[in-house]
Structure 1
């Protein structure tokens, strides 16, 4: 209902209850025909059913976005009234543009319809497109974001770089209700990502979650590897002190920059980064036209000179989850881990893009240094070369999920360590107690090209130790076990695992084959086959 009041147009609020009281929605049926049960449901219950039915959007519906929402409005007058006058049903607007280059007027009209039906409730706006050539499509993101910028609570964009750049250049006070943002900047071979001077995010007063990543065109020759674009936190302009979640993927974050960003995010709870270790640079010689002169030798420091001040530690009192994908210099990232103080860390994931040594002492020092006393619940380590990890596992008795993939470990000692051991209380063979490493372990994933795979007799002993470990762990509460190797298991042992897989042993067992070529272990399609990303 619209009426004029002092020269202004005022739209009266029509509630769902008042709208359904209209007799035009009442279905007249013969007396001998009982009314349908759907008409006896309360309108609030029907609205809740609609919310549940439209909760999951179909990403494949590129040409017909928000399809399920509009299907509900075409069933009958009652369903249409309930759907249209349920504002929360239209608060999550998903627009999958796909590869289209025309027909954007329908997308704009669709978005406007959803915005109007959501009334003044906060919005979650999701816009995606697979087109990277910005000249072939209009800046639809600005046309959709500007009218409702004060209502957007969650913003998710997968668009060309120039369009994401325009969003960030909005005035500082544009996104007053924004709490989380996820941006995937689609780039081509000749472009680079743009994540600097983000004034619209810096001025967002309630922003808590930021996710930034890069994507590549489907025909790009760089789509199989990581983008070599550096993310500079000094120029980003994010509200660091308010962030509780920071995700930076497919972007190069140097370890000095990462430490600077973490030092400013004192409220951070979850951090995901693609960390790049940069080796110290050698002195640079400047080539000039002046005659060459030998530089003077550096003056040695006095014997009684005080040692240089150690770098300032970075303490993150609220950090709960740390996930790193490490690349760069072929040495342990001690400069990064040695400066961290994480008193309440619960989940740690480290994945190397190249085989790099990570000594167990680096992890134990991270856990036992002054001001840090965490005990992990989840630990994932991939593509790591180093010594035994058993001392670090012993310091984390609360571990419930463990992944060790391509860590260059020996299978037999690891299986024996995870098997319960009998220990006497005294030297005379008195009462025996069962000592179990990681008593709370529920999910275990082990995959590698094990050193015991040859000869066959040694591999038979190793797999026997694994079966004994799984049997004992099953009694201790192990729920899922993933095992990967290049050498096949014996027929009897494979049959035993198959028996456990079918559920007879109360445990879910999965075996995978590790191919000999491992040049690109960090490819998502392969690493996800071995790691249970949905579980870990």
Structure 2
């Protein structure tokens, strides 16, 4: 039987131990071989069906009940549900305590806690003991912004079990998260994934640098590093240096399959260098910042009698970067608006299926840049999102990717009429035209045809016809049906056209009409991007 436990009055974690005598290891099978736990009950109490279930099935029910993480804002006691299960009856306690996998995921949501960390440490150690030697997933989150008010739990809890941690997730002030990276190179031998959300309330002296603790993790393949601005801090209203430098980060680039760098300043050259080293990437999300090139040197007049200096040799073209396994690329681009092609012109992505490009400010991206990328790589996309872009039509690029099933074009400075007519499927003509596999489409913008009224009437008629042709598929043109459609504009649809669209909704199409305000707040609003369409499963 497990060591008896005693609850403290201000319980903020697991009970404290009252007996430290070394006991032999008791397994769930040997514990329940004595049927005393299941047969000793009052005579007047009717038998419960729970006692007829095998212990292994009860353990599986416990695992399913605790699989989803609890709300970090609502919960006051970390791992509360785990300990509730172990205090219902003797049978449940035996099953819960002697199921190591139930305690192998330790989630400590601390909220704004600034005291009572002794109970938290005891709770974590109890979970570590009950998980035996199974690999651990350790999640520590806090909303405290001042690192001086809380201890360095990331070190206090990680160090004793560093050789067992498989997944590590931290949401702590930046000073506390960076201490993990200073561990010796061979400390995290079992680590496979790490997610760090560093809370920044002032200018950090350093930012994700010298990651010696991660460099020596032989199985690490998923890394997510993000900046979280402290609520109400002045840092949200001014620019600070949060540059991520891959030259000094010392990540195990060659073995990474998932890389996410968000809310960090990753310069274009640094992003290309990181991708050049991480050739095994499968999914990648980066925030790339462009900088204006330096002004050319002014040539002075050569004095008489002196030879003019030889003109400098043209710079050699930089070699392309090939990522043979990359399936999903998510880019958020900001900075200098005149050279967004500097990044794409270096890429060769033969396996790319999902491409997302979001500009923080409207920047030009010619269709020729995307078609050149597709020609070099010979990929065929299945999902495509483009937001806050200016340029020419995108129909040639869409036509070059016939397997596209989900397309989102948000504030891309396109003309609505040719776009809608290009996406219209004519049922009686041979073939299905472009995008025969299209199932979800989002078109949201301030369209140039919204004035005068006659022009907007033609444009919306083309939109309705496009939706009709892709929803009501007949005859030999039985391709994919457009099951989700989001349309956003300032003028909206006329009553007659809106009624026709409502018929499609009544027939099963998931339709969303989004009014675009003159003063849009942010491009990443769910209504504008139509993010509900991405939840669609094929």
**Among 330, 336, 339, which residue is 1:329 paired with?**
336
Distance in structure 2 (CA, Å) of the matches to 1:227 and 1:483: 37
Could you tell me which residue of structure 1 aligns to residue 156 of structure 2? 143
Unaligned runs of 5+ in 2: 3-20, 474-479
Task: State the secondary structure of the residue aligned to 1:408.
Answer: coil
In the alignment, structure 1 residue 393 sits paired with structure 2 residue 398: yes
**Among 105, 108, 124, which residue is 1:95 paired with?**
108
**Among 439, 447, 460, which residue is 1:463 paired with?**
460
The CA deviation string for residues 443-485 of structure 1, in whole angstroms up to 9 with x for no partner, is 1111111112122222222222211111221234112111111
What TM-score, normalized to structure 2? 0.88
Could you tell me which residue of structure 2 aligns to residue 408 of structure 1? 413
Distance in structure 2 (CA, Å) of the matches to 1:361 and 1:12: 71
Could you tell me which residue of structure 2 aligns to residue 426 of structure 1? none
Could you tell me which residue of structure 1 aligns to residue 511 of structure 2? 509
The CA deviation string for residues 131-166 of structure 1, in whole angstroms up to 9 with x for no partner, is 111111111111111111000000000111111111
Aligned ranges for residues 13-412 of structure 1 at < 5 Å?
Answer: 13-28=25-40, 35-58=47-70, 59-191=72-204, 194-223=207-236, 228-282=241-295, 299-301=309-311, 308-369=315-376, 372-412=377-417
Change (3 A) 1:221 1:434: same
Could you tell me which residue of structure 2 aligns to residue 521 of structure 1? 522
Per-residue deviation, 1:368: 0.4
Distance in structure 1 (CA, Å) of the matches to 2:531 and 2:50: 45
Change (3 A) 1:178 1:109: same
**How many aligned residue pairs are there?**
506
Q: Which has the larger displacement, 340-349 or 32-41?
A: 32-41
Distance in structure 1 (CA, Å) of the matches to 2:153 and 2:509: 50
Change (3 A) 1:376 1:459: same
Task: State the secondary structure of the residue aligned to 1:102.
Answer: coil
Distance in structure 1 (CA, Å) of the matches to 2:156 and 2:534: 36
Distance in structure 1 (CA, Å) of the matches to 2:460 and 2:367: 25
Change (3 A) 1:33 1:143: closer
In the alignment, structure 1 residue 441 sits paired with structure 2 residue 444: no
Change (3 A) 1:436 1:31: farther
The answer as to whether partners of 1:399 and 1:440 remain within 8 angstroms in 2 is yes
Distance in structure 1 (CA, Å) of the matches to 2:378 and 2:296: 40
Per-residue deviation, 1:10: 7.4
Distance in structure 1 (CA, Å) of the matches to 2:358 and 2:137: 32
**Among 499, 503, 517, which residue is 1:495 paired with?**
499
Distance in structure 1 (CA, Å) of the matches to 2:220 and 2:91: 39
Distance in structure 2 (CA, Å) of the matches to 1:182 and 1:67: 23
The answer as to whether partners of 2:166 and 2:193 remain within 8 angstroms in 1 is yes
The answer as to whether partners of 2:223 and 2:260 remain within 8 angstroms in 1 is yes
C-alpha RMSD of the superposition: 2.5
The CA deviation string for residues 173-207 of structure 1, in whole angstroms up to 9 with x for no partner, is 11000000000111113335521101000011110
Task: State the secondary structure of the residue aligned to 1:460.
Answer: helix
The answer as to whether partners of 2:340 and 2:364 remain within 8 angstroms in 1 is no
Change (3 A) 1:403 1:267: same
Per-residue deviation, 1:62: 4.4
Distance in structure 1 (CA, Å) of the matches to 2:75 and 2:308: 66
In the alignment, structure 1 residue 418 sits paired with structure 2 residue 423: yes
Distance in structure 2 (CA, Å) of the matches to 1:528 and 1:121: 44
The answer as to whether partners of 1:323 and 1:349 remain within 8 angstroms in 2 is yes
What TM-score, normalized to structure 1? 0.89
Distance in structure 2 (CA, Å) of the matches to 1:68 and 1:211: 28
The answer as to whether partners of 1:185 and 1:193 remain within 8 angstroms in 2 is no
Task: State the secondary structure of the residue aligned to 1:331.
Answer: coil
Distance in structure 2 (CA, Å) of the matches to 1:69 and 1:282: 63
